[in-house]
């Protein structure tokens, strides 16, 4: 089956058949679920502020740095136009996961960053959040384009479904984080 006439995501290597568009929808929704993790910054931003002695402006810089990468998300989109969707999802997932892992390791001082100046810590965390966002953009670009190709007569509905799913998944991730990590979110008297 030619690439343009069936499901866009990938062919099943074991039986040589192309997945249906609804199987592709399910697979892309699973991939898109990870991309909402950018929106969970508010659950740990206070801990970063207290751990590193960041000012409110520095915390906001880390958050804004991530989303400022929206101006450059055409770059992973161009890569998605050149590579297979399954490869882009894997590359985006690898970039996003490794960036989050490094962000965690750095913010919990597992990388020996205890003696760095506050500004340097802020820029390192900002850079890692920017890389994470680009990995997320690589996944979402492929997810949205795959869905538009697979549902040409329902482009608006399917885009709304996926976008809503990303928001719901980020809420679920936040809830799981709070449930499993049980952070102390009661400190509201920080003067900064």
Classify residue 112: in a domain, yes or no. Answer: yes
Question: Which is it for the CA torsion 101, 104, 109, 115, positive or negative?
Answer: positive
Classify residue 145: in a domain, yes or no. Answer: yes
Classify residue 7: in a domain, yes or no. Answer: no
- Residue pair 10/19 in contact by the 8 Å Cβ criterion: yes
To which residue do tokens 């003067």 refer?
191
Classify residue 5: in a domain, yes or no. Answer: no
pTM of the model: 0.77
Classify residue 6: in a domain, yes or no. Answer: no
Domain residue limits at 138: 22-180
**C-alpha–C-alpha distance, residues 20 and 11, integer Å:** 10
| Residue 14 half-sphere exposure toward CB, CA atoms < 13 A | 1
Classify residue 16: in a domain, yes or no. Answer: no
Classify residue 186: in a domain, yes or no. Answer: no
Classify residue 8: in a domain, yes or no. Answer: no
Q: Count up the domains in the chain and report the number.
A: 1
| Residue 154 half-sphere exposure toward CB, CA atoms < 13 A | 12
- pLDDT tens over the chain, length 192 residues: 344 444 444 555 555 677 788 888 888 888 888 887 777 787 788 888 888 889 999 999 999 998 899 899 999 989 988 988 889 999 999 999 999 999 989 988 887 676 788 889 999 999 999 999 999 999 998 998 888 888 999 999 998 998 889 888 888 877 887 778 776 655 544 444
Radius of gyration of the chain (CA): 19
């Amino acid at each position: 089956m030619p690439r343009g006439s069936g499901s866009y995501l990938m062919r099943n290597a074991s039986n040589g058949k192309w997945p249906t568009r609804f199987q592709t929808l399910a697979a892309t929704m699973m991939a898109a679920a990870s991309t909402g993790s950018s929106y969970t910054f508010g659950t740990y931003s206070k801990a970063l502020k207290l751990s590193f002695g960041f000012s409110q402006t520095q915390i906001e810089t880390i958050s804004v740095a991530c989303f400022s990468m929206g101006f450059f998300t055409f770059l992973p989109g161009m890569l998605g136009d050149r590579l297979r969707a399954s490869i882009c999802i894997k590359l985006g997932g690898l970039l996003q996961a490794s960036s989050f892992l490094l962000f965690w390791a750095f913010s919990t001082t597992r990388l020996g960053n205890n003696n760095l100046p506050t500004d340097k810590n802020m820029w390192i965390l900002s850079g890692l959040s920017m890389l994470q966002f680009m990995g997320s953009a690589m996944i979402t670009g492929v997810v949205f384009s795959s869905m538009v190709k697979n549902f040409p007569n329902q482009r608006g509905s399917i885009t709304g479904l996926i976008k809503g799913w990303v928001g719901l998944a980020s809420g679920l991730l936040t809830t799981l984080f709070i449930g499993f990590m049980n952070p102390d979110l009661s400190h509201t008297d920080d003067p900064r």
